[in-house]
């Protein structure tokens, strides 16, 4: 007797003349196909969409930076001449720089009565401060007006991503034009290192920060202290990392198989129950007639 390989077929076929179509089965089949299509499109959207997950850890993420952080500052002082405006930087490593001018630009405002300061500079990864003041001017004004608008203050790389909403420019848009012209302004910043890694593994190193501020007029035994706009910063030991991820293909295929198989199984059970109940009801009705 020749070997029949068809005996291994676990998907035995039922002849069509032994099957019976029903209206209920047709309705369930159409609903089943629509439901599968809906779930398939939902899973396909999730598969092609890039997910961004975040994690926290304690470490210095950018060890190749030489212990430096790049800073970008853009601020307008509409009532202070450009020749009076300067940037000073100091920190706990002993740095004390008055009148920083590298990579900076002063743009006159209000016909020369005001000034817009734009600058890029670096700070050490230690607590310190940088401040906009008149300390570097050759002659100190009597009543410098420190009212201002901060357009931008950011640290590290600029992230050009839409799906990460963080405080990368928390002071952007800060308006102090109605404050006391003779007051100093203290902005206390807590800087949080942030890493963004895309699907290819490329990383960007940026920094978010929280801010608290106060406004005051300072005096000493010699009289009123010249006001300034202070940015006092400290670094958090916690690093936030954002990573782009996409669902693996095997997981997508597994989910689709589960959707199709599960839906057809449940629909088959439901159709069988309805058909059995319908046949039983017909028998009951025939019994009453006889």
pLDDT by residue (tens digit) across 57-106?
Answer: 888 877 777 889 999 999 999 999 999 999 999 999 999 999 988 899 99
Residue 250 forms part of a structural domain: no
Per the structure block, which two tokens stand in for 281? 């009801």
How confident is the prediction for the chain on average, in pLDDT?
88
The domain total for the chain is 1
Which pLDDT value is given to residue 288? 63
Residue 195 forms part of a structural domain: yes
* 204 CB-near residues (< 8 Å, 6+ apart): 156, 157, 159, 195, 196
Which pLDDT value is given to residue 281? 80
Ranges under pLDDT 50 in the chain: none
Residue 120 forms part of a structural domain: yes
Which pLDDT value is given to residue 48? 84
Residue-number span of the structural domain to which 190 is assigned: 56-245
In angstroms, rounded to a whole number, what is the distance separating the alpha carbons of residues 262 and 106? 68
Residue 268 forms part of a structural domain: no
Residue 275 forms part of a structural domain: no
Residue 203 forms part of a structural domain: yes
* pLDDT tens track for 225-257: 899 999 999 999 999 999 988 888 888 899 999
Which pLDDT value is given to residue 249? 87
In angstroms, rounded to a whole number, what is the distance separating the alpha carbons of residues 12 and 209? 66
Nearest to 52 by CA among 164, 157, 166, 200: 164
Residue 281 forms part of a structural domain: no
Residue 18 forms part of a structural domain: no
Contact between residue 187 and residue 265 where contact means Cβ atoms under 8 Å apart? no
């Amino acid at each position: 007797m020749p070997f029949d390989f068809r005996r291994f077929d676990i998907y035995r076929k039922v002849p069509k003349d032994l099957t019976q179509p029903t209206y209920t089965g047709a309705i369930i089949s159409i609903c089943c196909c629509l439901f599968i299509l809906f779930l398939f499109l939902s899973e396909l959207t999730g598969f092609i969409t890039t997910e961004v997950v975040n994690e926290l850890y304690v470490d210095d993420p950018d060890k190749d930076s030489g212990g430096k952080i790049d800073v970008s500052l853009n601020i307008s002082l509409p009532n202070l001449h450009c020749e009076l405006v300067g940037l000073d930087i100091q920190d706990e490593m002993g740095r004390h720089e008055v009148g920083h001018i590298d990579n900076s630009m002063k743009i006159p405002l209000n016909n020369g009565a005001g000034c817009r300061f734009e600058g890029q500079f670096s700070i050490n990864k230690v607590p310190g401060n940088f401040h906009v003041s008149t300390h570097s001017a050759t002659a100190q004004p009597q009543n410098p007006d420190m009212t201002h608008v901060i357009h931008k203050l950011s640290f590290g790389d600029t992230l050009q991503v839409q799906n990460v909403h963080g405080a990368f420019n928390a002071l952007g848009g800060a308006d102090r034009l109605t404050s006391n012209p003779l007051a100093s302004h203290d902005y206390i910043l807590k800087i949080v290192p942030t890493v963004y890694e895309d699907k290819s593994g490329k990383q960007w190193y940026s920094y978010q920060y929280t801010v608290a501020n106060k406004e005051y007029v300072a005096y000493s035994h010699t009289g009123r202290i010249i006001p300034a706009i202070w940015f006092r910063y400290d670094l958090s030991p916690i690093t936030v990392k954002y990573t782009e991820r996409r669902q693996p293909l095997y997981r997508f295929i597994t989910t689709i198989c589960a959707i199709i198989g599960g839906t057809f199984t449940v629909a088959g059970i439901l159709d069988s129950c309805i058909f059995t109940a319908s046949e039983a009801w017909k028998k009951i009705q025939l019994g009453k007639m006889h």
